Structure 1
Amino acid sequence: MRVALLLSLLVVASTVQAAGPLLLRLGEHEVHAEYAQTPPERERGLMGRSELAADSGMLFRFDEVRRHCLWMKNTPLPLSAAFLDEDGVIVDVIDLEPLSTEIRCSQAPARYALEVNQGWFEAQGIRAGDRVTGLPGA
């Protein structure tokens, strides 16, 4: 009985961990994004990472729609972040400097933030007013 329960728990745990990155679309461009939706996942973010694959990133989902802030403590990557409203419309794009403890906030209320390699949004011609599709629950 205990062995069967343990095996069932292992199957469920491996299923949860097997979920791959989200596939987000920004016009004709795609981003494969890890999904940080819990407070510990958001707090950890991309800390300690020394590289991020091209067309990859991390999507943060915040519990409330309001102005949100990010910082780069313990994050050695130069990143850009797009803040998105509940419908996936970009309300602001900012650049974040590696290892900085400067707190950078969105200019408008947001539900999500999408972090990618610095300059990615600009290189793709993506800016405030553009829409991200493929968001969880959207």
Structure 2
Amino acid sequence: MKRLPLVSLLLLVAGCAAAAPRASAPAVELHGHRFSTEFATDDASRERGLMMRTDLAADHSMLFVFPDSEPRWFWMKNTLIPLDILYFDDGRKLVSMQLDVPPCKADPCPSYPSDAPARYVLELPAGTARRIGVQAGDELTVEGDIGTVH
């Protein structure tokens, strides 16, 4: 009986690995536009948010996920880039927006509240919501495993 050469065996294993389904990177879709995203699902990651970052790619976002729906407010302490802050209810419908929020340059920093209870908050580079035509009631689609929220 002939043995398969090692190279053939490696190619066979590599082909099987390539055919296996891969988990997609976390992303959100809003108003027909897709953004890669980072999830902030616990107190520490929600508190840190996008602090100390000097840029945010045009196709990137951060999704804050809370365990409940209630009025929310965000501030920009140690956030170095301007943002659009979008608030979504339990059904992931857009209920409030704070657009073109500037970095905080004085202490205390102002806060930017939601106009209604929210469970999800999406941060995008400033100007994105206007550019893509986001409107109240738009639905946020989330791709990827949010995991445990606490």
TM over 0.5: yes
What is the Cα deviation at residue 113 of structure 1? 0.3
What is the Cα deviation at residue 128 of structure 1? 1.1
| Residue 99 (structure 1) aligned with residue 104 (structure 2) | yes
| Residue 40 (structure 1) aligned with residue 48 (structure 2) | no
Q: Which residue of 1 aligns with 2:93?
A: 89
Residues 37/134 of structure 1: CA separation in 2 closer, same or farther (3 Å cut): same
CA RMSD across the alignment? 1.7
Distance 1:62 1:134 in 2: 14
Alignment deviations for residues 64-97 of structure 1 (CA, whole Å, 9 cap, x no partner): 2010010000001000011001111000110221
Q: Which residue of 2 aligns with 1:64?
A: 68
What is the Cα deviation at residue 104 of structure 1? 1.0
Give runs of ≥4 in structure 1 deviating > 6 Å: none
Aligned positions, number: 119
What is the Cα deviation at residue 30 of structure 1? 0.5
Identity of aligned residues (%): 38
Q: Which residue of 2 aligns with 1:7?
A: none
What is the Cα deviation at residue 22 of structure 1? 1.8
Structure number, greater radius of gyration:
2
After TM superposition, the score normalised by the length of structure 1 is 0.80
Structure 1: runs of 5+ lacking an equivalent = 1-18
